[in-house]
């Protein structure tokens, strides 16, 4: 009888320890979850230092998605790209337009900060002498006054207007991708580079649908519930 009581006490003690350890692991996971966001390729050591959105660099180097500079002004570029997107995916174009227009209101541009790496890029290549730096972090606002986006203003100011448009579009696409369980930004970067490339303007609806599927997104856009 005493032996059984002792065994029961030991089992309950082990169970309590396991529960405590499990709770600690969950707490640690939550404490290190810092959101999602866009990366910049920072090349300060080059003869001509520059900063570029990682999506555009990666798309050009890995997939030969040459960036289109036909519309180099941000407003003109947005109009041209969203007009083409409307031909391919009308509901998605409307949603992306709205999210793009809201970005500046939802972003907190900060000088003199270093944003932590959210480790969602899984990058394959980088230019020699360059580094990846976190430029934007996308968060789910928790409290009144919270912003959806935190932006490193120092890096942002070094981008040209083509890269600024692409940086915002990265966040817009990421917002949709997160609804479908995206674990990293690879699909987002692929789609963003494609949309900002010379090839995009000649894409057919079927080709774009294939690209959406490759990025983990449905052909038919679904509004967030």
Q: Is 48 exposed, middle or buried (0-12, 13-18, 19+ CB in 10 A)?
A: exposed
Residue 105 confidence (pLDDT) above 90: yes
> What are 64-81's pLDDT values in tens digits?
999 999 999 999 999 999
Question: How many angstroms from the chain centroid is the CA of residue 207?
Answer: 23
> What are 142-159's pLDDT values in tens digits?
999 999 999 999 999 999
pLDDT band at residue 35 under the 50/70/90 scheme: low
* Residue among 103, 121, 143 at smallest CA distance from 55: 121
* Percent of the chain predicted with pLDDT > 90: 72
More confident residue, 182 or 4: 182
* Percent of the chain predicted with pLDDT > 70: 84
> What are 128-140's pLDDT values in tens digits?
889 999 999 999 9
In the prediction, which pLDDT does 119 show?
78
Residue 184 confidence (pLDDT) above 70: yes
Q: Domain ranges in the chain? A: 1-33, 36-214
| Cα angle 60-63-66, degrees, rounded to a multiple of 5 | 35
| Mean per-residue pLDDT over the chain, rounded | 86
Question: Cα–Cα distance between 3 and 165 in angstroms, integer?
Answer: 71
Question: Cα–Cα distance between 52 and 209 in angstroms, integer?
Answer: 27
C-beta separation of 33 from 140 below 8 A: no
In the prediction, which pLDDT does 36 show?
79
Cβ atoms within 10 Å of 5's Cβ, excluding its own? 9
Residue 63 confidence (pLDDT) above 70: yes
In the prediction, which pLDDT does 44 show?
85
The dihedral over CA atoms of 48, 52, 56, 58, expressed in degrees to the nearest 10, equals: 80
> What are 114-127's pLDDT values in tens digits?
999 887 777 778 88
Whether the model clears a pTM of 0.85, i.e. scores above it, the answer is: no
């Amino acid at each position: 009888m005493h032996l059984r009581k002792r065994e029961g006490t030991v089992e309950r003690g082990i169970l309590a320890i396991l529960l405590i350890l499990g709770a600690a692991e969950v707490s640690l996971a939550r404490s290190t979850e810092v959101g999602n966001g866009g990366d910049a390729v920072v090349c300060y050591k080059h003869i001509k230092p520059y900063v570029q959105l990682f999506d555009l660099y990666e798309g050009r180097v890995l997939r030969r998605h040459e960036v289109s500079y036909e519309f180099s002004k941000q407003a003109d570029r947005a109009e041209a790209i969203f007009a083409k997107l409307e031909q391919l995916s009308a509901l998605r174009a409307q949603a992306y337009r709205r999210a793009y227009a809201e970005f500046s209101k939802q972003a907190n541009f900060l000088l003199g900060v270093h944003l932590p790496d959210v480790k969602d890029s899984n990058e394959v290549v980088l230019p020699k002498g360059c580094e990846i730096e976190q430029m934007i972090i996308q968060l789910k606002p928790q409290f009144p006054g919270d912003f959806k986006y935190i932006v490193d203003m120092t890096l942002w100011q070094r981008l040209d207007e083509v890269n600024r448009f692409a940086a915002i579009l990265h966040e817009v696409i990421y917002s949709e991708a997160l609804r479908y369980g995206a674990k990293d930004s690879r699909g987002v970067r692929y789609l963003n580079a494609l949309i900002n490339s010379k090839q995009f303007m000649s894409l057919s609806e079927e080709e774009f649908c294939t690209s959406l599927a490759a990025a983990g997104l449905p052909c038919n856009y679904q509004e967030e519930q």
